[in-house]
Amino acid sequence: MQLSHFPFQTFDWSSVPREEHAGETGSAWWQVVRMNDVRVRMVVYSAGYKADHWCSKGHIILCLEGEMETELADGRIMKLTTGMCYFVGDNNEAHRTSTVNGCRLFIVD
């Protein structure tokens, strides 16, 4: 990732609109801020959320609250709990997320 030129700035996440994205089950609410080619998100998954697609986009994810499981296309399942991160590059292991009780994430991609 290259962080191209942009000025120092702060912002309040409460001022960023939420977008709802339906999963196979449950919902995800995204707040998105773009800095050139970098997307920064706060994402909340509802209890019972399961992604409706396999993703091959690279991410850096920090779990702020709750826990989730990420299923990799090869069958492995990775659990992420509060305070844990995961990293995956573009076009590496395809993955999809689910959560039993919901979670809140900070994502850079």
What domains can you pick out in the chain, each with its CATH number?
Answer: 37-108 (2.60.120.10)
Mean pLDDT of the chain: 94
Q: Which residues contact 11 (CB under 8 A, 6 or more apart)?
A: 33
Separation between Cα atoms, residue 27 and residue 63, nearest integer Å: 17
Q: Is pTM beyond 0.75 here?
A: yes
Cβ distance 23 to 52 under 8 Å? Answer: yes
E-state strands within 10-73: 19-22, 27-35, 38-45, 59-72
Q: Which backbone phi and psi does 13 adopt, to 5 degrees? A: -55, -30
pLDDT by residue (tens digit) across 54-105? 999 999 999 999 999 999 999 999 999 999 999 999 999 999 999 999 999 9
